[in-house]
Structure 1
Amino acid sequence: MVFKKTSNSVYDCSIIEFSTIENREGSISIIENDISIPFAVKRSFYIYDIPAGKDRGAHAHKRCHQLLVAACGSFEVEMDDGKSKRTVVLNRPYFGLHIPPGIWAAEKGFSGGSICMVLTSEKYDEHDYLRDYEQFKQYVRGKDSFNG
């Protein structure tokens, strides 16, 4: 008998618009655990001083959800679920891209001065990473079905 395991697709990755308060002194965007994003943040970091046009990322996670925000500047995120690919552009600090586990993601084409803020559902765990694309494809194929 074959059972289907749930696996995420690139179409499960979603753009989230944050609540924003605007006035003449500037704007504030609000990100709240389990309210404006679908997980509680356990880790946050940001990537900066990326030379214009360079790439980052190129890995997947087994359990960790991520939220990517272009806090400054712009970049593209290429997503791959092993079957389909999708690219989105992040260029506004009030939008975030939610990437669930099992999606290969690569950040590309950074504009000069970009800052990529990342919020995650898990603390850092090297064993959660899939850093080799061929291993990622094997992992995804193994999640599609199994014999029970």
Structure 2
Amino acid sequence: MNIEKSLLLIFIKEVILESRKQVYRMANTALLQTYWQIGKLIVEDEQQGKAKAIYGEATLKTLAAGLTVQFGKGFDYTNLTNMRKFYISFPILDALRQELSWTHYRLLCRLDTEAKRNYYLKESIVANWNSRTLQRQIKSLVFK
């Protein structure tokens, strides 16, 4: 392989890697938007115009059963509960950070205060934490 062919190979690899990143970002964005919308629909149905929700666990279980049959285990009771928490914790769709994955957001939703969520969200982006690092940082109680 001569030098020109080596450069060609490098350039082609860069194009492939960049396109894979774009596909991942687009898929991640679509997933976050979908889960946020589902969470919103669940919360709005729970509240039915009231300030507080009056909702039975049975409703979510029934919903999960129907969705799981058609769409698979990604829509089980636990994941629907996570989607609900996602919407409640991050009620502004346009404020979602696309740099973070669904796994990041699931971890962030478990935090008990908005201050903690915001701290770990910002640190995850600035330090480019993957979800395992985020989980480790949360467990180490970095935020006091």
Q: TM bucket by the smaller chain?
A: under 0.3
Structure with more helix by fraction: 2
Structure whose CA Rg is larger: 2
Compute the TM-score of the two structures, normalised by the length of structure 2.
0.21
Asked which structure has the greater RCO (Cα within 8 Å, sep 6+), the reply is: 1
More strand, by proportion: 1
Using structure 1 for the length normalisation, give the TM-score. 0.21
